[in-house]
A = this chain, B = another copy of it.
């Protein structure tokens, strides 16, 4: 006899780390666990290449977005970033399960997956709404490219360059022209990633904020700035001669910029809906990742 259709998240999509060799076993175990609880389970097409499970449909991104009430992602924070950008136009909540080391977005360990998930599917979870960035790269000829980012958008020099000069505006007001390896525009979610390495602050994901952090700035007083996420940011790199300047999104996608390109960053209309165990605080994860020690 089949289980009753559950009230919460009846249709679940499973998405695994790209090309993960250690994915197949936990994924099919997870599928069986969910099916036994009465959920409909689907795999995304990419994941289905390296793993499969009985009684599970395979869906492309659009079908998955419209046909799932929840996406469970198995991998690391990198996998979560990439899935979050893919599903950004949709409104599917996400749960992150870490296959390797604890992450900020994937803080459910595989070893404790089933009891943790059972509690969450029974309603003991916290839903966080994380700010996403909507990035436009506008070209001098009037054309434009668009991309989302969950952690950060970065404008930086190439491997052989010395510095890039960027003119920065916030809310249409000139801030500075800084010369640096580059500039990071990060969300609170991204504050503990590249931003932290470059000297930026930790910003609680409860904040609706954006952080501008220069990377190795020539002017030492060009310090990180935290502004409201609602304030649009404009970055105009000065690109001359053989300068190589790049834009990247979550460190995973990107391209080389041309002279005259400008990058406009604003808060995306949709937020990322992150479903986390209610028993685990943000600061617990911070303590563990940053080795703050207990006491």
Contacts and interface: CB of A to CB of B under 8 A. Distances in A.
A202 B219 contact: no
Given A159-B157, A246-B159, A201 B198 contact: no
A281 B173 CA distance: 8
Interface stretch (A103-111, A136-144, A210-218, A268-276): A210-218
Contacts of A293: 176-177, 219
A170 interface: yes
Contacts of A162: 194, 248, 251-252
B221 A207 contact: no
Nearest to A164: B159
Interface string A235-250: 0000000001110100
Nearest to A157: B159
Contacts of A248: 160, 162
A227 interface: yes
Interface of A: 156-162, 167, 170, 173-178, 180-181, 194, 196-204, 206-207, 209, 211, 215-228, 231, 244-246, 248, 251-252, 254-256, 281, 283, 286-287, 290-293, 295
Task: From A162, A217, A221, A244, name the one whose CB has the most chain B CB atoms within 10 angstroms.
Answer: A221
B223 A197 contact: no
A161 to B, nearest CB: 8
Number of copies: 4
Given A159-B161, A160-B248, A196-B220, 10 more contacts: A167-B295, A175-B287, A176-B293, A180-B197, A201-B211, A201-B224, A201-B226, A202-B226, A206-B227, A221-B292
A152 B68 CA distance: 47
Given A159-B156, A226-B201, A209 B209 contact: yes
A190 to B, nearest CB: 13
B226 A223 contact: no
A201 to B, nearest CB: 4
